[in-house]
Structure 1
């Protein structure tokens, strides 16, 4: 069984402030270590369920947060950014049996994580078909397009609740809850135990339960923090301006949405 894990940090237990997420900051090392341990726990759960090949994308900021030495030997770690439009699931293709998300967080525009954002902190939000678009939903749509089921997610409670709206069969482990600029976190060791067990459970279920359908049409809306960015976005073919800070882009092809986001942010 071949598994793909995409890992972020803003949904890791304990992470509350931007200083804890950025590599040059002193606080980063401690929380990057917890991010590594949560990924390790996911790998161990996958191995217990029969996984013999695991690919991990370090999908936070520099893409250089995870200590590969702490992961099992059957893992391949993708570090840095290639520029591929799949971004946080770079190298994902039809050969994988399942996709998992570790340390994921609520979408930009929501109030369920003090670090809520979608892909870029320089924008206010992205909406898809009128709903706030999270990094989970964007990349699980890519997986659906490729025929790879998303089976597991750990992160903040707000995002876990969102995941259940799309498919209640996906196993979710909320390790924290956002409250204003604060977070309420479960113990780091408990998070590791729950992630390990949750991943194992997710891979032992009937994979047909994870099937999701893509929308037939896509209406993308982006609200920038600066009006000049909305004006710049008008150079992308098919973009319409809604107001001084908001643009829209419509298509029936998911890959055109993915491509547009890559170039419009």
Structure 2
């Protein structure tokens, strides 16, 4: 059995602002690694532990240089760690159809979500909304669709803030997932943290619950091809730049659309547009 774990930052406890990453780098990295270690503890305590041969972990925040290869390798010898960027399929790199189950760790609400910790969708500086086939998306659902459509693997566990839980559960984006809420997000840069020991216990219990259940019955998050993407950017000048790319149609001052029959192509294009938008004119 092979597990795939994509790890982000904004949905972690102990973090309320991007400056935590730069001004308190050591504490920030400790929080990320610690949350992943708790997931590994849950795996080790699950009934299927002996069946698991491969644990792929993608460091999916920023430049992908946050998780410790040494620490996680010492914690579990089955860990394969993906670090660094830029890279293809940024938050889901090196995934193929040999993986059985996907976990998202440290994830957060999408851009514009009310009371959401550091809400954004791939880039707070460039992207306001992403719609695929008419559905409003966030990073969790866009990535889950990549896992479901391209690799036929379900997302069984999501660990993140209260706003993402609301989107996935209450708004019906992925109501089937097991969810661990790390903090009650009060505003974009304010949150109420749960006791660390409680998060550890809930993480271990959730991992065990998912692995010990019949995960093969979990639904895949999918769309029917062709895939139509509508993106609202932060400023019209960003559209001025990105509209020059092949296949991109400008449909408004800050809005772009494109269609593809290949979800991987769409997946990479969304990341590419977000990245270009960050460096394009204000």
Do the two structures share a fold, i.e. TM-score over 0.5? yes
5 Å matches for 1:185-264?
185-216=193-224, 217-264=226-273
CA-atom RMSD in angstroms? 1.8
Matched with 2:114 is 111
Task: Summarize the Cα distance change of 1:112–1:252 in structure 2 as closer, same or farther, 3 Å threshold.
Answer: farther
The separation in 2 between residues aligned to 1:126 and 1:152, in whole angstroms, is 23
Q: How many Å apart are 1:259 and its aligned residue?
A: 3.0
Matched with 1:8 is 8
The separation in 2 between residues aligned to 1:213 and 1:178, in whole angstroms, is 26
Q: Which of 88, 91, 104 is equivalent to 1:101? A: 104
Q: Which of 44, 49, 53 is equivalent to 1:47? A: 44
Q: How many Å apart are 1:159 and its aligned residue?
A: 1.0
Q: Which runs of 5 or more residues in structure 2 are unaligned?
A: 275-282
Q: Which of 75, 80, 83 is equivalent to 1:79? A: 83
The separation in 2 between residues aligned to 1:205 and 1:151, in whole angstroms, is 10
- 1:31-59 per-residue CA deviation (whole Å, 9 max, x = no partner) reads 22111111111112123222232111111
Matched with 1:62 is 63
5 Å matches for 1:148-163?
148-163=153-168
Matched with 2:190 is 182
The separation in 1 between residues aligned to 2:135 and 2:199, in whole angstroms, is 29
Task: Summarize the Cα distance change of 1:52–1:8 in structure 2 as closer, same or farther, 3 Å threshold.
Answer: same
Q: How many Å apart are 1:108 and its aligned residue?
A: 1.2
Q: Which of 118, 121, 124 is equivalent to 2:124? A: 121
Q: How many Å apart are 1:91 and its aligned residue?
A: 0.7
The separation in 1 between residues aligned to 2:115 and 2:229, in whole angstroms, is 22
1:166 corresponds to 2:183? no
Matched with 1:135 is 139
Alpha carbons 1:167, 1:212 under 8 Å: kept = no
TM-score, normalized by length of structure 1? 0.91
The separation in 2 between residues aligned to 1:241 and 1:82, in whole angstroms, is 26
Matched with 2:277 is none
TM-score, normalized by length of structure 2? 0.86
Tell me how many residue pairs correspond in the alignment.
Answer: 261
